[in-house]
A and B are shown apart, each in its own frame.
Chain A
Amino acid sequence: MAGNILEVRNLTKSFGGLKAVNDLTFDVKEGELLGIAGPNGSGKSTLFNVMTKIPFGPTGGEVVFGNQRIDRMPPHRIAALGLARTFQKDAEFPDLSARETVALAAVYGRKLSRAGAMAATEEQLHAVQFDPARADMPTTELSVFDRKQLMIASALVMQPRVLMLDEPASGLTRPEITALDALLCKIAASGVTIMLIEHVLSLLLSVAQRLIVLNQGSLLAEGDPQTVIKNPAVVEAYLGGRAA
């Protein structure tokens, strides 16, 4: 039985009177692919934000990564420790190319030399099947799928122990979602722990080994994905009165 790589204890994030993350406690096991679901506004992305402290940290609670408490560390140190993430929104640098972006992650996130960073960049772009012909284009000219691949490549080049993906399938076509599904399975098979927020339930249920469902910032259900998704409380949270 794998041990916990992440332990989230009583994590809370308040915006005035609103608790976007409300006393959340759960563990992430090393090597697993943990799915995170919940209706819009349930606090999924806010959970990633407070765990990585980008752009803001928690109001209360603890996040332990490995054996270190990270909720008081600056974001770049958390990233360098091996907790990488992607954003739901685009997170590119308009003036930098895909190749320059991944190389920056290799230099700062993984502390590689210039030569090492270049080699790691090529390797990672190839691993996520990024079109080499587009690697030197400004990122603003890339397609949605290119940008998703770029975010994942930038995160993976840092050799993270945990990869947090925030709705990577949003805005993708069905063939692209299929390609993403294969990529996620490949990353998981390489031993990287994955936390996956996803609204495309078919993708989430096909890859997640365990699922947690949030509602109004609180933990609603946790366990085997096929069981959790049939939980009446989860159905109620997703579908409201229509579930009755």
Chain B
Amino acid sequence: MDTLISTLLSGVVLGALYALMASGLSLVWTTLGVFNFAHGALMTIGAFVAWTVSEAVGLGLPAGVVAGVASAALLGVVVEYLLIRPFYGRPNMLLITVMTTLAGMIILEKGAQMIWGARLKQLPRLIDGEVSIFGAVISAHEALIIVVAPLILLALWQFTTRTYLGRSLRAVGQNQDAAALLGINVSFTFALAFGLGAALAGLTGVLLGGIRFITPSLGAEPLVKAMIVVIFGGLGSLGATVGAAFVIGLAEAFLVLTLGLYWTPFALFLGLIAVLIFRPNGLFGRV
């Protein structure tokens, strides 16, 4: 019973992290129609900057968290400006930006290696201690992730549905020409979407940095998982992305328990392909 609850909690923690990471990726896709392959590297930079500010400089973890999220957001805006914006309106923009964001990922990862080196680093946990839930014990840091991630995503949902700035993101994502007609600055909206998406990646990096070692390739695996989540959920909806993140997180936790770590990625991809055969628009996508 304890194993089942532990696995369930592990799945929820994974789901919460995937939801944060994938929501940023989904936000960029729905607004710009671009798949940002540098998203994982932005997460890595967020974690490294948080470590530098809190540990190397010694300003403490709260300052590190703020710096990590802010630096990822800022770098996201720079990535949009340098690697995406020059190609807006090109007929083959999607293909070009696959290449430019892949290049961005490599540049950021190699840059991180040059600046921070290959030695493993780890952030302190946001909260020390452990929490017991129905007899299963998880760290207080992981419990915080379970609580914080849904709150952040709820705030993001409120932002996109209740505020005019958020609605402008949705409007641009649905019809750029019509949005410009209403006086919406489409270029600014693109930068905003990229900045917000990158901030979510940075936050994921900060939270993950308290569980895993921070390396230049920290973001590579979460990027792949986030892509599975976004496609699995059905491109274009925040709710679908979050739902899919928890399905994938729980599936991964139970697959690790039953099949082991080695076969889990294979089983996940197999599941993704099976879902896409029967539901081409994703698990929660509109048919």
Contact = CB atoms under 8 A, between A and B. Distances in A.
Contacts of A52: 181
Interface stretch (A15-23, A93-101, A176-184, A194-202): A93-101
A84 B174 CA distance: 20
Given A74-B187, A76-B185, A103-B164, A93 B175 contact: yes
B170 A154 contact: no
Nearest to A108: B183
Given A96-B167, A114-B164, A108 B174 contact: no
Interface string A50-73: 001011100000000000000000
A228 interface: no
Interface size class of chain A, counting residues whose CB lies under 8 Å from the partner chain: 20 to 34
Interface in B157-216: 164, 167-168, 170-171, 174-187
Contacts of A103: 164
Contacts of A95: 170, 174
A100 B181 contact: no
B182 A105 contact: yes
Nearest to A100: B167
Contact of A92 (B176, B178, B184): B178
Interface in A78-97: 79-80, 84-87, 91-96
A54 B184 contact: no
B164 A94 contact: no
Most buried by B among A108, A109, A114: A108
B113 to A, nearest CB: 39
A56 B182 CA distance: 16
A178 to B, nearest CB: 26
Contacts of A108: 164, 168, 182-185
Interface size class of chain B, counting residues whose CB lies under 8 Å from the partner chain: 20 to 34
Given A55-B89, A107-B164, A114-B164, A84 B181 contact: yes
Contacts of B185: 74, 76, 108
A138 to B, nearest CB: 11
B178 A91 contact: yes
A101 B179 CA distance: 9
A12 B187 CA distance: 25
A24 to B, nearest CB: 22
Nearest to A113: B164
Contact of A76 (B89, B164, B170, B186): B186
Given A103-B164, A104-B168, A158-B183, A91 B174 contact: no
Nearest to B185: A76
Contacts of A110: 183
Contacts of A79: 180-183
Nearest to B174: A93
A76 B178 contact: no
B180 A92 contact: no
A108 B184 CA distance: 6
Given A95-B170, A104-B164, A85 B181 contact: yes
Contact of A104 (B89, B167, B186, B187): B167
Interface in B17-39: none
A158 B184 CA distance: 12
Nearest to B187: A74
A85 B167 CA distance: 21
Contacts of B174: 93-96
Given A76-B184, A93-B175, A105-B183, 6 more contacts: A54-B177, A75-B180, A96-B174, A104-B164, A104-B167, A108-B183
Interface of A: 52, 54-56, 74-76, 79-80, 84-87, 91-96, 100-101, 103-105, 107-110, 114, 117, 154-155, 158
Q: Give the 10 A-B residue pairs with the shortest CB-CB distance, closest first.
A: A109-B183, A91-B178, A108-B183, A75-B180, A105-B182, A79-B183, A93-B174, A107-B164, A76-B185, A108-B184
15 contacts: A52-B181, A54-B177, A54-B181, A55-B177, A79-B180, A79-B181, A91-B175, A93-B170, A93-B171, A93-B175, A101-B171, A108-B182, A108-B183, A114-B164, A158-B183
